Amino acid sequence: MKRILLSLSLVGLTALPISAQSKAPQTILNTPSTLAAVKPAIAEAAKSTVRITQDGKDVALGTIITSDGYIITKASELKSGKITVRTYDKDEFEAEVINKNENFDIAMLKGKATDLVPAKWSLSKNTPVGNWVASPSVTGEPIAFGVLGVMARNLPGPYGPPRVITTESGYLGIQLAPSDFGATIGEVTAKSAAERAGLRAKDVILAVNDYDISNSEALPNTLAGFKAGDTIRLTIERDGKRMEITATLDKRPAELVPKKGGKDRSDMQNSMGSTLSERRTGFPVVLQHDGVIKPSDCGGPLVDIDGNIIGVNIARAGRTESWAIPTEALIPLLAELMVDKTAKTPAEKVKAARAALKVAEAQKLLADRKLAEARAALEAALEAEKAEKAGPAQTSSPTPSKDGSERGPAPRPIK
Amino acid sequence: MRRFLFGAFICLALGLAPLSADTPATKPIPEPTTAITKPGPESIDDLRAIQRQTRLIYEKVMPATVGLRVGAAQGSGIIINKEGLILTAGHVSGEPGKVIDVVLPDGKVVKGKSLGQNGRIDSGMAIITDKGDWPYVEMADPKSVKAGQWCIAIGHPGGYKPGRLPVVRVGKISAVQDNLIVTDCALVGGDSGGPLFDMKGNVIGIHSRIGPRMTDNIHVPMNVYKTDWDALVRGDKVGENDVWLGVKADASSKECKLGEITPNSPAQEAGLQAGDVIIKFDGKDIKTYEDMTTALYKRRPGDKIEIVVKREDKELTIKVTLGKRKN
């Protein structure tokens, strides 16, 4: 069992500001004056933000996809009950869930509406780490403000809602050692499934069935998806040689089943200071910021201070982090999500298919434009190369700077 | 033609890759402008100025921010010279002289060794033992650190995670005391030992511990490293004081309220009881549990002191002979 270090300070501090005594302590990032400075940056994005309520209770925020009532939100925050959508203009209408993506925890809602303001998406990769990001409320106030802490990154699988671990969950019987890639076995438990299968200490597990094990975090996550009695195929590296080993999983010993509601030290620390989302794992791609969002404020846009919408908040994931699905991962999901899974009559199905086609066409248009730009860039580069080879390099192409400025994404031009 | 394109693409990808350890970033950080030194941002332009500075600092200091693996435990650290000397928290470096793994931001693991620690204030050091010319950052003048200043926290919350660079947070300093700095940069397990920077990109503190609120994030300041410098580099356990009273804090109280009295301890023998609130200790007024431990550690085993406690509205003076901690 690895330990992640940070001590708890159980004692009161003498010099804390008085504001810290209140229930939600004020940080510099949520003082009224800071939020007032941020407000103009999110004015446009707020018009594409909606409040989603069920039976009069705020359950989530949402982001407008099309002017005629397609809206995305965080799926797992929706409970049973009539869904009402409230817009920036204080219009209210009812909506229904027409489709869901379990991995990203996104639900597509459709309501009868016109003239909504769809979100204008920007690529998250153009907003570098350290830039401010804000989350607008439906009234145009920033509800959370912080910095982008980590660019969009792939998380290890498996994806989707967390698996509940019971004694029926599969158990391999190994302990992991630190490693740079894959999952390196530190110790094999005596008489375990791992021992019977012939696994040894120092074996590096690279895959389980068809799931890549890119790092030691991915292994327990992946194994949690199998049941006692399942036979799995492990791809391992031993003494520099790759080999495959099959193992039949045991029942999980009762003492290794996490207690219901039980929290380890890391869970405890992560839940200190803010309320975490119920579903906060299993997303394939996330970007990370430190704005403190409430679970019921997920589903709305994440905006940089130039007003660019770079993703949709999907979870309050820990004491230091909120997660958003970056636009790069989100946009490809939308066309599929707009297909109405609840469509029953042929007329409804035709309408759903038409809507999906419209989005797919728009995406093709965007892709075509990118292709044209890339071709033009190549042409220009080839011309420059030809010119340089042909004659004296008086008009040589600019060389990349050596001061490191080519390493990160270019800063956004300031408007 | 295809080959050329492919080659060009690879170069581009490498250009965007995280900085490797052997390319020290030396871009100078500009002096903070008034937008950064005023009490709070008043406009988008102020926010842009802070953002620009943050980004420059992050680019410069990120390559020197490392993950530390000490046995099965994980924390963070910051390299402060080209020989690979690392500042970290005392509870991360732990026992001096142990072989440890130092994880660079790009995931490369190099070998290191734990050096000294001051367990009471939680300062610690380690050093990279592999040969190399390591990227490093400068330490700030401790006197320049004031409440109200912006600060940048970097570290590995949750421990080093493959594919995730050190995570940045921005906040303000709320208090500066002799042995600690308090900020609203939220920390969590794994951040321990990571660096806190001022807006010039110089280290001002090392992440140590947290309290229940988002504003309770405590860092060890540079002055305490400087005080113990030679001993920490030598690998000493500094200020190890085995003085023993035998009480635990009642965590629900803001005062110095005792939650538990250790059986057969000096506290029990002297008659201290759970629920007692210490208001005076060895002649000093006490407001918090930390006030009390600060006063306690100034004494040695065998010293006789007086404690004034509040017990059910009565004030009692209790004489205690301090003991020696057994391990």
Question: Does B125 fall in a domain?
Answer: no
Question: Does B76 fall in a domain?
Answer: no
Proportion of chain A above pLDDT 70, given as a percent? 86
A24: Cα separation from own chain's centroid: 26
> CB B175 to CB A408 under 8 A?
no
Measured distance CA(B20)–CA(B1) in Å, rounded: 30
Measured distance CA(B24)–CA(B60) in Å, rounded: 8
> CB B255 to CB A12 under 8 A?
yes
Per domain, the residue ranges of chain A are 28-154+285-333, 170-256, 343-381
Pairs of residues, one from chain A and one from chain B, whose beta carbons lie less than 8 Å apart? 251
Question: Does B140 fall in a domain?
Answer: no
CATH number of the domain within which B274 lies: 2.30.42.10
Measured distance CA(A312)–CA(A326) in Å, rounded: 7
Q: Is the ipTM of this complex over 0.95?
A: no
B69 contact A CB<8A: yes
- To the nearest whole number, what is the mean pLDDT of chain A? 85
CB-nearest to A11 from B42, B54, B249 is B249
Check whether B63 has a pLDDT greater than 80. Answer: yes
Q: Which residues pair with B320 in a beta bridge?
A: B305
Half-sphere exposure of A168 (CA within 13 A, CB side): 2
Encode pLDDT of B132-145 as tens digits: 999 999 999 999 99
CB-nearest to B40 from A12, A31, A414 is A31
Question: Does B227 fall in a domain?
Answer: no
Question: Does residue A283 contact residue A104 with C-beta atoms inside 8 Å?
Answer: yes
Check whether A238 has a pLDDT greater than 90. Answer: yes
Return the residue in A1, A2, A4, A266 with the most chain B beta carbons within 10 A, the one to mutate for interface testing: A4
- pLDDT confidence of residue A391: 60
- C-alpha distances in Å from residue A94, one per residue of A55, A84, A195, A310, B277: 11, 5, 57, 27, 57
Reading the block at residue A188, the tokens are 């094999």
Please compute the mean of the pLDDT values over residues B83-94 and round it to a whole number.
96
Nearest CA in chain A to B163: A153
Check whether A396 has a pLDDT greater than 80. Answer: no
Report how many domains make up chain B: 1
Check whether A1 has a pLDDT greater than 80. Answer: no
- To the nearest whole number, what is the mean pLDDT of chain B? 88
> CB A5 to CB B190 under 8 A?
yes
Q: How confident is the model at residue A4 (pLDDT cuts 50, 70, 90)?
A: low
Question: Does B132 fall in a domain?
Answer: no
User: A404 to chain B nearest CA, in Å?
Assistant: 7
Check whether A32 has a pLDDT greater than 60. Answer: yes
Sort out which chain B residues have CB atoms less than 8 A from A129's CB and list them: 55, 58, 165, 168
B residues 281..300 contacting A (CB < 8 A):
287-291, 293
Q: How confident is the model at residue A262 (pLDDT cuts 50, 70, 90)?
A: low
> CB A27 to CB B59 under 8 A?
no
Please give the torsion angle defined by the CA atoms of residues B54, B56, B57 and B59, in that order, rounded to the nearest 10 degrees: 120
Better-predicted residue by pLDDT, B206 or A347: B206
Residue B204 phi, psi (nearest 5): -115, -15
Reading the block at residue B284, the tokens are 């000093």
Tell me the residue range of the domain where B290 lies: 243-324
Measured distance CA(A100)–CA(A108) in Å, rounded: 6
Q: What angle do CA B5, B8, B11 make, to 5 degrees?
A: 155
Question: Does residue A85 contact residue A62 with C-beta atoms inside 8 Å?
Answer: yes
What's this model's pTM, rounded to 2 decimal places? 0.74
User: A216 to chain B nearest CA, in Å?
Assistant: 9
Encode pLDDT of B268-300 as tens digits: 999 999 999 999 999 999 999 888 988 888 788
Domain A28-154+285-333 has CATH 2.40.10.120: yes
Proportion of chain B above pLDDT 70, given as a percent? 91
Question: Does B167 fall in a domain?
Answer: no
User: B224 to chain A nearest CA, in Å?
Assistant: 18
- Assigned CATH topology for domain A170-256: Pdz3 Domain (2.30.42)
Question: Does B130 fall in a domain?
Answer: no
